Amino acid sequence: MAEQTVAEAAETEALTSDELLVEEVSIDGMCGVY
């Protein structure tokens, strides 16, 4: 459940690699979410 919230609230910015080995997510938008 918490993970779903994180996934929904996060701004996903796919960075990186040719074959998408790593994906980064910012959770700055999570500040007001409890």
Asked whether the beta carbons of 3 and 30 are under 8 A apart, the reply is no
Among 8, 20, 32, 34, binds other proteins (CB under 8 A): 20
Q: Residue 26 interacts with other proteins (CB under 8 A)? A: yes
Q: Residue 33 interacts with other proteins (CB under 8 A)? A: no
Among 1, 2, 8, 19, binds other proteins (CB under 8 A): 19
What one-character DSSP code corresponds to residue 32? T
Segment holding 20, helix H or strand E: none
Contact set with other proteins (CB under 8 A) = 6, 10, 15-28
